[in-house]
Structures are given as structure tokens and as C-alpha cells.
Structure 1
């Protein structure tokens, strides 16, 4: 099944450096303070991390291997300087931002920068609540016999390595890009890198988010070090969680992971020391009780709602004397800021809950009580959904690279249908329309019945509406026709209702729905969803599987 995707975007390093400089000036000018200033500093750090990753990857593509360069070293020097500022802010309760970084900014500005680089927003920072402060804590609290040589695994590892280096007085920082099959990655490095690693006599800190399904990126770096004669006890792994490697790990890598020295930099360890309640009390009042709703816990009382724990964001219900609130991870830096902006737009239109604030990557909103699923009559439902989708088409434009193109969707549909129904069914699928020019937007992508709340006064509210266009899946941003196809499936619209929905969307956003595109997406949408929920079933508990099986069957029926 093809479900997941890995997108990048092209940036011009000098433009990115100017934006980074402007953000740092804002931080150091005193216009913001406290946690708001810390959030802006985090944004600057993540921008610098992406830039360092993009520069290193550009040189990797040119040379076919990882090799140090003055430009990479200048980018890392800036990143380590910003990591020290982030540590100063975090450890001073946000009263300090540490020493200036003007010298490091100038050093990178005077370097030989490429015209363009490809950068990636790491999944951990945008979706999985991977926190820089957790790495500062994990590395800073470990006793090191001598300064480590830090190896960051790109993409996320570029910034994470700088954090570890900042608090360990690291002797050197290297970033590497594992390549190859996702479950069997390997690293390609120059002789200079090999000599540098082999000459280091102290400990090594290997840093990344994850591990996920295989842990092959961590394994690739550990394989390299062991091939260079580094004893296992000199290698310290700093992952983002304390769990095991995933089900696709090779047996020898699983064995090594179990015995390795690990220093997890987990969100749970971070909030154990700095409770989440304190992040929002200026907005909520004193928090009396916190209930975690992550991993599908919000649906535990309704066994008919299928959940995909791997796609669930960290979320918490906060109970205070002033009321009840929902805090959900929206993303650090620019990622979270964009989702917060979308939340405000949708709330002003009465479509979603009102966001009260974005604090350290978590979006806070009032808890809304309602009955799950739309309860309005069919005509009112179609009218409401049409206006909602039309608003999204009007307000949230995107660019083509932010999502899969039609050819990729066609390949995905063929692969998934072949696995579900056989090659003959896959061969009969329609090709994507040749003359269609989709207009990508930040689609909702999650129009399932249980994602709607009917309030006591009859109003319909959409939940989970902010980030499925920016997830880790293949689809990403698409034409609004993707959501029309989704509404047709998830809300069981008949042909007349779908035609009316198209007319309402077109009236609101002032552009018609392309009928040929919709015909194609009527197949691509259930093919994708069937693959997505098949992946969920494979990782589900026995109690979760019946609801997931029912959901898969609905999509397969649509492919007949």
C-alpha cells in the first residue's frame, strides 16, 4: 500500500537568512517577552535548522556522499549559537535569550551559499511533539566523561545535534543523510569524515527523532561507527522516545538497540518536570485536572469509531474553575503558526472551535460538548458542508509542491487497489484527466462523520480541521475537489446531493468543480483511505480492529 509521502520545498538561502535575521531581531528587541519570545526564538532555531539541512543535502547531492565544507560548518556554528540561546531562555524561565549571534549570522552570510536548496520540515517538530528543550534536558543531564562528537541524522538531526552540542561542549558536530530503502538505510561518507570519526577517542552522541518503523537511520550510523572500530559502549543514542524500534527492524539492529546506551529526549519527560498545566494558566486559570486524550483515547467510549493512533496528535483536556479546554499539539515554529492562523479564520466563520492561543506548539481552545456526527436534515447538511469547503478553497491557497500530483495519486490508487482487489481491478481504473489543472488548497482531508459535532442548539462544528493537508501522508494539499470526493464518501451523499454540494462550493469560492477531476478523485480518495486504514489495522489492538475493518470495507465497496 502507498500511504505516506515525504515532501520538501525549495528556498533561496540568502532570503531564508534574511527572514531568520528579522526573527532574531524581533526576539532581541524586547517586543515580545516570556513564553511568546521563547516561541519566536524556537521559530528562528527551526528556520536555521532547515537551512543547515538544506545546505548539507545540496552538497550531498553534488558529491554523492557526506563531506564537510566551510559553508556547512558556518551553518552549524550559527545553529549551535541559537541552540545556546534557546537553552538560556528555557533554563531562565524565559527571562534571558543568551548572548547575541551576530558573528555567526555574518559568518554564514559571507559563506559561498548555493542559489537554492531543498528543505524539509521534520515530522517531529510539526506533528509528533518533538521538543528542542527535551534534547537540551536529556543531553545536559547525562554525565559525559569527555566532550562527545555529535552526529545528527538529517533532516531533524541537524537541529537536534546542535542542541546536544550546545550543552555538552561537543568537540565536533557532523550531520549525515542515510539513504536507500526506508527499512535498510546506509550512510555514504568521504574519507575525511571516516578519518575524523576514527580519530575521536571519546564518546559519540547519535541524535535524531524517532525511531519509527525500522530504526534503520540510527542503525546505519551505528553500523558506520562499529565498522570504524568504535566500541558500542562509546556510542550514546538520543532518540525522541523511550520505546523499541519498529516492526520492520532487522533482528541484529533490534538486538543492538536493546543493549545500546540510550538517552531518550521525550515530551513526557519534559512535561514531568515542567507540567503542561503551567503553559496555559494565564489563559485558563488554575488547572485542576488534566486528562490525556492522545492515541485515540478521546474515542475510547465509542467502539464504533475507528482510530489510527499513529496519526493522532498529542492532546489534553484541561479542567479549570473557568471551564474545560482542549490543548492539542499543532506544531513548533512556522508550522504551528500557520495552523493557528487557519484556526482563527475558520472560527470567525463559525465553522470550528475558537482558538484561544498558541503556546509552545500547543493550540488551546474551549472544550465543546456536542453529539458526534451531523444531525441536521440532509439539505441543511449539504449547505453547511458546501459553505465550509468553499471557505477553505477561498481562504487557504497552496502551491503545487505541497501535495501529490495527479500522476502520483493515480499510481497510489493502482497500487492500493491491486493489493485490495487484484491486478484486473487496478488495470480498469481511470487515468487522471489530462487537461485538468488542479488548484491546490489546504484541504480538510478528514470529513469523517465522527469529526463533526452537533451542538445542543443544532449548530454543526467541524473538529480536527487544521493539519491534514500538512501531514506525513502522500496526499497533502489538493484541489477542493478532493474534499468534495471525501464528503461524498464520508457523509454518504447521493448524486443529487453531490451536485448541489459542488454548486454551493463553486458559488462560495467563485470557481466550478472540475467534473473530470472529481470523477478521478472519486476513485483516488477511497483507494487512499483504504490503504491508510489498512495500515492502521496492522498496528491496531484486537479491540480496535472491528471498527477499522468496517471502515476499510466501506472504502473497498466504493472501488467496485
Structure 2
């Protein structure tokens, strides 16, 4: 099943260098956005220069110095910004690939992975172990930035540090490192080896591949340390190699709650107050049990209710750096249009919004239909962001239909192929991407949308898309009958003048249902025989029936 969407993009490294230079010249202390951008660029350039194996390509070295210096600047080194600018100039003078592939680090964007957590872990390691020398191995891509952060703390503690980055390759459950002679020598000469990344993921094989390379180089187990973003005893990892290694190696982890919640740091920018965790589906405790929808808790952002004398706030992770600022701007625009709760500000990647008391909308009535229509019209009026990628939608649909309904049903999608040209002629917008009924609250200010900021730009489908995707989502998730569907489409066209939406609605609805079938299937399999797993299984069956009917209507 296709559920996740690749967010890698192709970029000119010289243009990205110019953006870094502009940021460094902007004045004041460089913010975390520059450090993240430097790590992303370093990873992209190093990948482009290391197609077969990793061995510290010469042209990538000034990019690595930029990241290292910005990590030093992050901890208050006043001269590091000038050194970073000099490294940018050196990188720009060197031979560079014309295009590199860069990927936004998911931990910084979606999962509240704060660089400070790895920094604190490094400080604790330095105090407890007191190494004289250490080789820090960052696993690209996010490990590039995190390795620089860890290295900066070790340097401050008087440790002689060498930083290298590597790209684990191969099947996700059986990653391996392919090292050239210089990196093999670096490990052979290492005293302590610190392996830095987010994760572990489902398999843990990337950490295992790096640890195995250190062991082969002769580094004793007791001198190999893992710096993940969360701890595990290894028993749940799908890689046999990772399960064997994980409990034998030291692990240095500082949790978000310890560093940001227990210390009061998360609440401090908003005057302090008591926090209630609403992450991972815990927000459902605020509504009657009979109304609680099934969710995949692992896919939910961190969010907290902050109790304050002048009214509670919802603190929701929106992303570090530039991403967080984009989400704040979109939240302000939606609130100004009367569609969503009012934002108060942004700090540490968390967007603060007025906490609105209300209840889920329940039955589809005139107030809800009106709110959905106004929201769709607002989204459609935003500036276009490219064209619809009909080929990718067809691939998603064919794959998920074949796996979910069978090859015979997938063979009946010829009508979608015939419409591809019309679909691609339409503009793509930053759609809502999440039109589920639990996203709408009935409040004293009317029906509001609670989460319409960035589902077009997370690591799931749809990405930027035709507004028809959201129309199809609203029709599907609210279970609209033919009359309600026609009313929604008619109201949307009256508000926007977009009559062409009718031509592509069947195509987009079929693609939407295929994606939701894939999502619910994967969630049901992952969650197993618990309430959420059973709820996702019921949703899967509902999407399957609706998808089969949509295909038959299109093929008729």
C-alpha cells in the first residue's frame, strides 16, 4: 500500500548557499533555522558526491564546517558565525554538483525532535565518560545536524572530536554502510564512537549498520555509544542485528518531557501554567467516550493544553525553523477569516492557539455544511503551488486498489487514465488534507476547523493537490448523500467560480479513497486488536466498499 509521500526535492546547491549567506548577514544571532538548513544542504551535497560509498569527499568538507560552526554558534560561540560565513564562501568557490536532492528532516518538522535533547545527552556523556577523543558518526540526513550539535557539546567539554557522516544503504530492514578507505581508517583510529540519528525506526538497522562498522574496525563494544531520539530495549525492532546489538551498547537519550515539560520550558514563553498532555490521541479524553474516533496515535503531533489565568492555550508542535513560521502565518490567515482558533505566537517550534471550548460537530447540519464550504473556498483561493501530478495519483490508486480489492478491480481504472490530461491541467493548492469530522468543533463562535495547517506538507499523501481532493474528503468522511454532495459542490462553485471541479471530482474521489484505504489498512495492522486497531479495521472496510463503488461508477 502507498501511504507515505516522498518529500525529497531537487535544488541548486549554490542557491541554497546564497540563502545561508543571506541568513548569516541578516544580523543578530543565527537562529535554529540556519543550523537545520545547513545540515540539510550538507547531507544533500555529500549524498550527491558519494553515490556508491562514503569517504569524505573534498568538496563536501566546507559544507560540513558550515554545519559545525552553526552548531557552535547555537551554544553561544560569538566567533562561530564569522567562521560559518567563511566556510560558505569556501564552499561556493569549489566544484559542486549542479543539482542535489534535499529532504526536510522529519524529526524537526513533525516529531518535536529538539536539537537541545541531543545536546543535553552529549553533555551527560561527557561528564560520565570523560573521553579524551571521540569520533561522532552522523547518519544522514537528520543525523548530519544532530552530529554537529553533539560535537559542539563535546568540544566545549574539552574533548577532541572528529565528525563524519554516512548514508546507510540497502533495504530499510537490512541497512549497511559502504565506507571508503578514509572512513574505515577513521573508525580504526577511533577511541570512542558516538552514533547519532533520530529513531530508531521500525527496524533499527541503520544504527546497527554503523555499530557493526565500528566493531569491524576494532572499536570495543564498551566504547560505542548510541544517541537516538528515543530509547528502546531493542526487543521490538524488526532487524535481528539491531535486536542483538541494541541492549549491548550504551544509549544516551534525553526525553522531551524531561527537558521541556518537567522543567517548565515549554510553558515559560506563555507565562507558565499547568500542562495537560493531549498527544497520541489523549485529546479524546476531553469528549464523551461514545464520540471518540479511532486514531493512529503514532502519527499525531505533540500537543498540550496550557491552563492560564487569562484563558487556556493549545500548544501544538508546528515545526522548527522556517516551517513553524509558515504554519503561524497560515493559522493567522485562517483565524482572520473566521475559520479557525486564534494563534497567539510561536516558540520552540510550538504554535500557541487560543484553546476553544466546544464539542464535535456530530450530525451534518446546515452550520457544519456552511463551515465546510467556507473553509474549502478559502483554501481554493490561496495562491496555486504548481500542477497536479496525475501520474502519481494513478500509481497510488492502482497500487492500493490491487492490494486492497484485487488485481481484477484495478484493471477497471482505465477511465482514470483517460482523464489524466484534464486532471493535470488543474492548479494545485495547499489543501487541508484532513476533512475528518473530528477536526470540526461546534463552539460559541460557530463551527471551527481545528487542524487545517500543514497536512498538504507532511510525509503522508496528498501533498499539494487539486481542491477536489478536499471536496472528495469532506463528502467521504461526512458520509454525504447525493443531495448533500450536490449542495456542497454547488455552494463551492458559487463561492469560487470554479466550474471545472466537476470534471475531476470522480478521479480525485477515487484516488482519495484509495489512499485512505491504504492508511486505514496499515494502521489496523500496526495497532492490532485494541480499540483503535478495531476502529481502523472498520474504517478500512468502509473505505474499501466506497472505493469499489466509486470505481464502478467511473467505469460505467
* TM-score of the alignment, normalized to the shorter chain, above 0.5: yes
3-state SS, counterpart of residue 175 of structure 1? strand
Counterpart selection for 2:475 from 479, 482, 488: 488
Counterparts of 1:301-340 in structure 2, within 5 Å, are 301-302=288-289, 304-340=292-328
- Asked if 2 retains the 8 angstrom alpha-carbon contact of 1:86 and 1:97, the reply is no
Match for residue 407 of structure 1? 391
- Asked if 1 retains the 8 angstrom alpha-carbon contact of 2:267 and 2:275, the reply is no
Q: 225-234 or 241-250: which moved more? A: 241-250
Match for residue 123 of structure 1? 106
Work out the CA distance in 1 between the residues paired with 2:134 and 2:386: 42
3-state SS, counterpart of residue 505 of structure 2? helix
Match for residue 148 of structure 1? 134
Shift of 1:11: 2.1
C-alpha spacing 1:105/1:499, structure 2 compared with 1 (3 Å)? same
Give unpaired runs (5+ residues) of structure 2: 549-556
Shift of 1:312: 0.3
C-alpha spacing 1:418/1:455, structure 2 compared with 1 (3 Å)? same
Counterparts of 1:176-195 in structure 2, within 5 Å, are 176-195=166-185
Match for residue 553 of structure 2? none
- Asked if 1 retains the 8 angstrom alpha-carbon contact of 2:45 and 2:100, the reply is yes
- Asked if 2 retains the 8 angstrom alpha-carbon contact of 1:502 and 1:512, the reply is no
Shift of 1:99: 5.6
Match for residue 404 of structure 2? 420
* 1:134 and 2:117 are equivalent in the alignment: yes
Work out the CA distance in 2 between the residues paired with 1:27 and 1:212: 38
Work out the CA distance in 1 between the residues paired with 2:19 and 2:94: 17
Counterparts of 1:185-224 in structure 2, within 5 Å, are 185-198=175-188, 200-224=189-213
Work out the CA distance in 2 between the residues paired with 1:527 and 1:115: 37
Shift of 1:251: 2.3
* 1:434 and 2:420 are equivalent in the alignment: yes
Counterpart selection for 2:56 from 53, 68, 78: 68
3-state SS, counterpart of residue 240 of structure 1? coil
C-alpha spacing 1:399/1:241, structure 2 compared with 1 (3 Å)? farther
- Asked if 1 retains the 8 angstrom alpha-carbon contact of 2:294 and 2:532, the reply is yes
- Asked if 2 retains the 8 angstrom alpha-carbon contact of 1:213 and 1:246, the reply is no
Work out the CA distance in 1 between the residues paired with 2:493 and 2:330: 21
Counterparts of 1:345-360 in structure 2, within 5 Å, are 345-360=333-348
Work out the CA distance in 1 between the residues paired with 2:283 and 2:230: 22
C-alpha spacing 1:182/1:252, structure 2 compared with 1 (3 Å)? closer
Work out the CA distance in 1 between the residues paired with 2:410 and 2:161: 55
Counterpart selection for 2:36 from 15, 22, 46: 46
Shift of 1:376: 6.2
* 1:292 and 2:277 are equivalent in the alignment: yes
* 1:228 and 2:211 are equivalent in the alignment: no
Counterpart selection for 1:391 from 378, 383, 390: 378
Number of matched residues? 532
Shift of 1:509: 4.2
Shift of 1:447: 0.6
- Asked if 1 retains the 8 angstrom alpha-carbon contact of 2:135 and 2:193, the reply is yes
- Asked if 2 retains the 8 angstrom alpha-carbon contact of 1:183 and 1:248, the reply is no
Shift of 1:97: 8.8
**1:152-210 CA deviation, whole Å, 9 max, x = no partner?**
11110111111111111353211111122222222222223222322x23001111111
> TM-score under structure 2 normalisation?
0.90
- Asked if 1 retains the 8 angstrom alpha-carbon contact of 2:70 and 2:81, the reply is no
- Asked if 2 retains the 8 angstrom alpha-carbon contact of 1:3 and 1:473, the reply is yes
**1:466-485 CA deviation, whole Å, 9 max, x = no partner?**
12111122422211111111
**1:528-552 CA deviation, whole Å, 9 max, x = no partner?**
1122122222332613233223322
Shift of 1:331: 0.3
* 1:469 and 2:456 are equivalent in the alignment: yes
> TM-score under structure 1 normalisation?
0.89
Shift of 1:248: 5.5
Work out the CA distance in 2 between the residues paired with 1:221 and 1:243: 17
- Asked if 1 retains the 8 angstrom alpha-carbon contact of 2:340 and 2:448, the reply is yes
C-alpha spacing 1:236/1:347, structure 2 compared with 1 (3 Å)? same
- Asked if 2 retains the 8 angstrom alpha-carbon contact of 1:130 and 1:266, the reply is no
3-state SS, counterpart of residue 113 of structure 1? coil
Give unpaired runs (5+ residues) of structure 1: 29-36, 90-95
C-alpha spacing 1:272/1:519, structure 2 compared with 1 (3 Å)? closer
C-alpha spacing 1:398/1:542, structure 2 compared with 1 (3 Å)? same
3-state SS, counterpart of residue 82 of structure 2? coil
* 1:342 and 2:342 are equivalent in the alignment: no
**1:221-259 CA deviation, whole Å, 9 max, x = no partner?**
122222333222221110011235585522232121122
Work out the CA distance in 1 between the residues paired with 2:79 and 2:493: 49
Work out the CA distance in 1 between the residues paired with 2:258 and 2:195: 19
Work out the CA distance in 2 between the residues paired with 1:11 and 1:231: 41
Work out the CA distance in 2 between the residues paired with 1:249 and 1:130: 23
Work out the CA distance in 2 between the residues paired with 1:272 and 1:519: 46
CA RMSD of aligned residues (A): 2.3
